[in-house]
Amino acid sequence: MLTGCLIPIVTPMTPDGKLDFASLKKLIDWYIGSGVAGITIVGTTGESPTVDFDEHHELIRVTVEYVAKRAHVMAGTGGNSTQEAIELTEYAKRIGADSCLSVVPYYNKPSQEGLYRHFRAIAEKVDLPIVLYNVPGRTVADLANETVLRLTDVPGIVGLKDATGDIGRATEMFKALRRRGKFEFALYSGDDITSLAYLLLGGHGVISVAACVAPAKIVAMCAAAAQGDIKTARAINDNLLSLHRRLFVEGNPVPVKWAMAQMGLISPALRLPLAPLSETFHQTVREALVEAGCLKA
């Protein structure tokens, strides 16, 4: 089971909107050197809705080849079309990704039965470990706990990225999985502000936006939580609290890309319909970076 911190890596772009693979490789080196367990490529933070099909493939390929087994590569292969999700997953499998992250279909508003059949169809078609991704704040559709539990019986579906931020619901999921003996089903927090609580309740790791700018600290927090060192984990989380909040003052990945540009890591370039971070929030995000030790005052 993959545990610890995974980076939902951004997709660096040049000012004219082209993919910036040189910057992507520098980020990969930094994150691996910081001790992350894995790289998640072309997820929500990686602007999957704004890259085309060929670019999506290329981002997965370059990442797999450049990581070269130094860390786990989890490829974002979800979609609101089951056939498209299957095709992306097949490509990720063929190119050598270690697993895939499959988001709940968005806009369609499928029923729970539709969601179950969607993920089952992918798993039955492609032999690549699938981590489900539930983020109802962005997809509208919400993968219910009961549906997740049904999907744990489908071979190839190995985990869940839970971005609901609902700790009560997460606790119920942990309890239900224990009752069923599903101890190998991986549970990852996808909500930074509640990630420490998620870990301490039984989560196996985090897929953290804050880790894009503070990877070593999130790695250390995960390690402390796993070792039962609550004092250390809490101190790290307290230091990052403003960052957890302020990296979401506008839709992800707008603030984190701006923050990374301030740190000299990438260009702040985005693709429409995403627009640059409003000047109203520049100081807000900068202060959080300073507090977390990512920037000098």
> DSSP letter string over 205-240?
EEE-SGGGT-HHHHHHHHHHHHTT-HHHHHHHHHHH
Alpha carbon distance 154, 102 (integer Å) = 14
Residue 38: which residues within 8 A CB-CB, separation 6 or more? 2, 6, 7, 71, 72, 73, 74, 98
Residue of 91, 133, 188, 198 marked active site: 133
Q: Is 198 a catalytic site residue?
A: no
Residue of 31, 91, 116, 161 marked active site: 161
The four Cα atoms 163, 107, 55, 89 give a dihedral, to 10 degrees, of: 70
The four Cα atoms 12, 14, 17, 18 give a dihedral, to 10 degrees, of: -80
Backbone angle region of 145, left / alpha / beta, with phi > 0 → left and psi within -120 to 50 → alpha: alpha
Q: Is 69 a catalytic site residue?
A: no
Cα dist. 263→87, 108, 253, 274, 283 in Å?
A: 36, 38, 15, 21, 14
| Strand pairing class (205-207; 130-134) | unpaired
Active centre residues (catalytic): 133, 161
